[in-house]
Amino acid sequence: MLQTIARDRDVYDAVIVGSGATGGVAAWRLSEAGLKVCVLEAGPKVEDSDFTEHVMPYDLKYRGNSSRYVGGIPKSPDLMRNRPVQGLVYACRESNYKWFADDVENPYQTPDGKPFHWIRMRVLGGRSLSWGRQSYRMGDLDFRCADRDGYGENWGIRYAELVPHYETVERFVGISGIEEGLDHLPDSVFLPPMGFTCGESLFRERLRARTGRVATIGRTAILTKAHNGRQPCHYCGPCEQGCVTHSYYNSPTTTLKAAMDTGNCDLLVDAVASHVTRDPRTGEAGGVAYIDRLTRQPREVRGKVVVLCASTLESTRLLMHSADHGLDFNSSGMLGHYLMDHVYTGGAGGRLPELDAKPWVGPPARPNGIYIPRFRNIDRAHTNGMIRGYGYQGRSGPGFKLSAPGFGKKFKEAVHDRAEWTTGIGAWCECLPRYENYVTLNRDRPDAWGIPTLDIHFDWSANDLALWNDSRVQAAEMLEATGHKDVRMYGQPSVGGFCIHEVGTARMGADPKKSVLNTWTQTHDVGNVFVTDGAAWASIGCQNPTLTMMAITSRAADHIAREGKRGRWV
């Protein structure tokens, strides 16, 4: 694993804030280009010994519970007491809860009746340690969405500009999947795909034949064969707890490791970034001020370029707080606005009666499912007044009938004898960028290190909820069309932020009056500051965002290195 190094260097070529998916790519690409970089991470290091994917729940005091409450009953109150928000997410478990932010030390505020679940990890690698790993390209349907339906703003970039950077990331990280030839869901450079279950194969064949729609295997950042010194997945299951074989992408074992191997990258952990500092000689950024997490002592690391990869809302908080220290990034008035997330936790399920369900307790735990790409508003601007669209993720397989009647031996027999083959698909729906979804800096409520926190104002629009409702109806219709029985719709719209796909608040664009960043993710107001994480997004699409964030970061890193060679950064 990585070693933490702090060298006595006057000024780095680049200071990167954040060590997650985008911070890792920035460090890797800039280090390989020959720049001397320093990565700041607010939390501690992780080692392979911290990964617990092979630890059994029965070996843990609370049986590995992932939520603070079930039916209002505390499950692990002593563990989750300081994580009332983080403890709600499935990935925060007894074995890894310390990776997640302490909500008491890291507060934020929301108005009454409008909750927002901000899921954060304070550890080397950030949310790349526990992300869902679904990896999809976006296309001009997304980047030029305003041209199609007249809503919002375009990104200022086109798909063709990102293709080489998608490929660079995919070839290094490893993405498994199937080529489908869809313009609105462009194919990646794929490793061999994971296999379908019998039910998924039936669903895929029937869905295409009866509706013309596609169900593909999930495109995932998990290796299916040895790749770049990493081993293929062995289907042990709980990827959210780490991976000792380094089979899935996380930055410490992949991009950060590559950066450190160059000898050009230094790493500072336990460094809680406060703000971007101002160089009095140039009036531009001079580096990053941070607080030592353990000693609470203020520090600064200086750099010719600052790259913010701290995650959407953290990067925006840094930009906002920097105004208190002489650097204003908000001449457009757009900073903090147009916060987005995906609406999810809605879909449908049913059973496939013709398949013989023979479940058992120890099957290979394939860390993937199926994906149904967007079909709404592909060949038109709107449907029934709705714009944009949604995609689905799901799976099909046998399951025990735990609701079977009986007691003791009869119950055990019924659980097996009445087992069913079921399919479930849930939608990820696009959220429109709206000015009234925004964050502001709360200087009266600092965190544990004295840094102002955020007030978050967020709600779903009528269009967001219309897409969500339509997605449930369409999910049920697809299951019925493919031979499923006892089909039922389920779910309630998710709380904002809980999909953990939050983007926006420092959007990119060609017009400096309407955006915070230019098309290179460089701030309009301060020429040597870049923001390459989700904060840069002008719209959200319906695909999982991480792969596109990484490609955007690769493109920005190439630009930084190229301009540096031309003498831009002095």
Q: List residues bridging with 322 in a β-sheet.
A: none
The one-character DSSP state at 16 is E
Spell out the alpha helix ranges (H) of 20-175: 21-32, 77-80, 140-143, 145-149, 159-173
Task: Enumerate residues 6+ apart whose C-beta is below 8 A from 112.
Answer: none
The one-character DSSP state at 231 is P
Task: Enumerate residues 6+ apart whose C-beta is below 8 A from 454.
Answer: 108, 109, 313, 316, 317, 439, 440, 441, 442
Q: What tokens appear for 541 in the block?
A: 């699409």
Single-letter residue type at 550 = M
Contact 393, 371 (CB under 8 A): yes
How many CA atoms does the CB half-sphere of 426 hold within 13 Å? 15
Nearest to 393 by CA among 132, 92, 21, 208: 132
Q: List residues bridging with 299 in a β-sheet.
A: 290
Q: What tokens appear for 20 in the block?
A: 């997650």
The Cα 105–Cα 146 span in angstroms is 40
Q: What tokens appear for 10 in the block?
A: 């006057």
Q: What tokens appear for 464 in the block?
A: 């967001």
Single-letter residue type at 461 = S
Measuring CA to CA, how many Å separate 4 from each of 48, 124, 271?
15, 10, 12
Q: What tokens appear for 320 in the block?
A: 């906002």
Q: Each residue of 151-208: pLDDT tens digit?
A: 999 999 999 999 999 999 999 999 999 999 999 999 999 999 999 999 999 999 999 9
Task: Enumerate residues 6+ apart whose C-beta is below 8 A from 550.
Answer: 21, 22, 25, 169, 173
The one-character DSSP state at 359 is -
The Cα 275–Cα 321 span in angstroms is 6
Q: Where are the beta strands (DSSP E) in 18-127?
A: 37-40, 69-70, 73-74
Q: List residues bridging with 305 in a β-sheet.
A: 14
The one-character DSSP state at 337 is B
Between strands 285-292 and 298-308, the pairing is antiparallel
The Cα 245–Cα 78 span in angstroms is 31
The Cα 567–Cα 547 span in angstroms is 30
Quote the pLDDT of residue 311.
Answer: 98
Q: Is 427 helix (H, G, I), strand (E, B) or coil?
A: strand
Task: Enumerate residues 6+ apart whose C-beta is below 8 A from 348.
Answer: 424, 425, 472, 475, 476, 478, 479, 487, 488, 489, 490
Q: List residues bridging with 442 in a β-sheet.
A: 453
Q: Is 318 helix (H, G, I), strand (E, B) or coil?
A: helix
Residue reference for tokens 């930084």: 560
The Cα 309–Cα 39 span in angstroms is 10
Among positive and negative, which fits the CA dihedral 102, 104, 107, 111?
positive
Quote the pLDDT of residue 66.
Answer: 57
Q: What tokens appear for 173 in the block?
A: 């990280």
Q: Each residue of 461-516: pLDDT tens digit?
A: 999 999 999 999 999 999 999 999 999 999 999 999 999 999 999 999 999 999 99
The Cα 144–Cα 156 span in angstroms is 8
SS3 for 445-506 is: EECCCCCEEEEEECCCCHHHHHHHHHHHHHHHHHHHHCCCEEEEEEECCCCECCCCCCECCC
Nearest to 133 by CA among 249, 278, 41: 249
Quote the pLDDT of residue 1.
Answer: 44
DSSP letter string, 516-541? SB-TTSBBSSSTTEEE-SGGG-S---
Nearest to 164 by CA among 565, 558, 561: 558
Contact 329, 336 (CB under 8 A): no
Residue 369: alpha-carbon gap to chain centroid:
17
Quote the pLDDT of residue 417.
Answer: 86
Determine the angle formed by the axes of helices 159-173 and 546-565, rounding to 10 degrees.
Answer: 100
The Cα 424–Cα 489 span in angstroms is 10
Q: pLDDT (tens digit, 0 to 9) for every residue of the chain, 570 residues total?
A: 455 554 445 799 999 999 999 999 999 999 999 999 999 999 999 989 899 999 988 888 887 765 554 444 545 567 788 999 999 998 998 999 999 999 999 999 999 999 999 999 999 999 999 999 999 999 999 999 999 999 999 999 999 999 999 999 999 999 999 999 999 999 999 999 999 999 999 999 999 999 999 999 999 999 999 999 999 999 998 999 999 999 999 999 999 999 999 999 999 999 999 999 999 999 999 999 999 999 999 999 999 999 999 999 999 999 999 999 999 999 999 999 999 999 999 999 999 999 988 888 888 899 999 999 999 999 999 999 999 999 999 999 999 988 889 999 999 888 988 899 999 999 999 999 999 999 999 999 999 999 999 999 999 999 999 999 999 999 999 999 999 999 999 999 999 999 999 999 999 999 999 999 999 999 999 999 999 999 999 999 999 999 999 999 999 999 999 999 898 876
pTM for the predicted model, two decimal places = 0.96
Determine the angle formed by the axes of helices 546-565 and 21-32, rounding to 10 degrees.
Answer: 30
Nearest to 427 by CA among 364, 492, 377, 482: 492
Quote the pLDDT of residue 78.
Answer: 72
Contact 365, 54 (CB under 8 A): no
The Cα 80–Cα 98 span in angstroms is 10
